[in-house]
Amino acid sequence: MDRHPAVPYGARAWAEVDLGAAADNVRALRDRLPGGTKVMAVLKADAYGHGAVAAARRLLSEGVDMVGVGDSSEAIELREAGVTAPLLVLGAVVPGEVEKVVAYGVAASVHSHSRVDLLARAAEALGKRAPVHLKVDTGMGRLGALPGTAVPLARALAENPHLSFEGVATHYASAASPVPFQTSSQFDGFRRVLDDLRREGLLPPLVHASSTAAVLGTLREHFSMVRLGGGIWGIDPGNLEGSGIPLRPALSLRTQVIFLKDFPAGSPIGYHRLFETARPSRVATLPIGYNDGYAWGLGNRASVLVRGRRAPVVGAVSMDYTTVDVTAVPGVEVGDVVTLVGPDGDEEVRVEELARLLRTTPYEITCRLGRRVVRVHTG
C-alpha cells in the first residue's frame, strides 16, 4: 500500500488542493457549453475553502474570463495579491467599502437606485468610471431588483457618465432540483426582462444566470457567461449523477495521529461520555476539531481513513481534537497520516458523505475549514 508523504510543514492539519483537478473540471464543464460562452470562476468564501488567491492565478491562466467573489474584502484581497483580471462582487457592496471597490476597478452588483447614486458619487470623486452589473430577482428572494423595476434602473446605470453598465444577472434558486419548475419559471422571467432591455437599447454585453447546477441540468441556454463555483472543485451540487460530466474532487483534508492509548471495555471517551468502549480498544487522538472545520456533529457518526482503512470517529468532536477507534487497523503509529476527506488506498471519504451525515450542503464542509488548516496547493 502506498503511504502518504511526510506531514507538510509539520502541520497539525492540512488541505491538499489539486489545482490541476480544478482546471480539468472547468474544461469539462466548458465543453458542455456553446462555443464562445464566457466563464466566471466564483471564488467566494476563499474559493469555497480551497484558497482564492492560488485558485485565481491558476484558473485565469487556464482562460477563465472573470472572477466572482462574495463581498468587497474578498475582491480587495485578490487585487492586493496582484490579480488584475476582471472581478465582480456578486453580493452587496456596503457604503464603507465603496471607495476602495471603485479605486481598485472592481465591478459591483447593483440592486437599487440608492446604490447607483453611491457608486456614481464615489467614481466621480475618484475620477473613475465604475463597472456595474444589474442583478434581477426572478425568484431567489434575496438581493436583486424586482423585474418591474429593472428597466428604469438599467437606464439610470446606462445614462450615468461615471458608471459602465457591463452586465445583467439573475440567480437560480433551485437549479439542482429534480423538479425544474422554478428554474424554468425564473428563466422565462429573466428572458422577459432581457427582451425589455433589448427593446429599450439597454442590454449590456454580459448576461449571466447559470451556476454549475444549471450547466449540469436541463437548461440548454446559458446566455453569454456562466458562473462556476463548487463544480470547479468537483463538488456535486445535487445533480451531477447522470450528467455524464466527469468532475474530480480537488480537496483532501488530512491530519496525523499524535497520541495512542489502549482502553479496557467500559471506558468513556470524550465530552459528556457520548461513547463508551464495548471491548478493549485502541484509540488515536487527532489534532483537529470543530475550530478547524471538522464539525461537532460528526462525533460517533463519521469515519476517517488510517493506513487505507476506515476507522470510526468515537466520542464528541471537540474544539481542537478528534478521537478515532483504530483497534481494527493493524500497525498504527504516532505520526501516521489520517485522511478525513479524500482518498487513501482503495477507500475514499467524500465531502458529500459528510454533508449527508450533517444534513447540510457539501459546500459548507469545505467552507468551514479554519485558518489553522494549512492549504497545500498542488497540480
Distance CA 145, CA 151 (A): 10
Q: Which of 48, 104, 271, 294 is catalytic?
A: 271
Q: Which of 38, 44, 128, 135 is catalytic?
A: 44
What is 345-369 written as a DSSP string? TTEEE-HHHHHHHHTS-HHHHHHT-
Q: Phi-psi bin for 223: left (phi > 0), alpha (psi -120 to 50), beta?
A: left
What is 175-220 written as a DSSP string? TT-SSTHHHHHHHHHHHHHHHHHHHTT---SEEE---HHHHHSS--
Q: Report whether 154 contacts 136 (CB < 8 A).
A: no
Q: CB within 8 A of 330, min separation 6: which ones?
A: 307
Distance CA 86, CA 369 (A): 27
- Is 321 assigned a catalytic role? no
- Is 135 assigned a catalytic role? no
Instruction: Count, in order, helices (H) and strands (E) of the chain.
Output: 11, 20
Active site residues: 44, 271
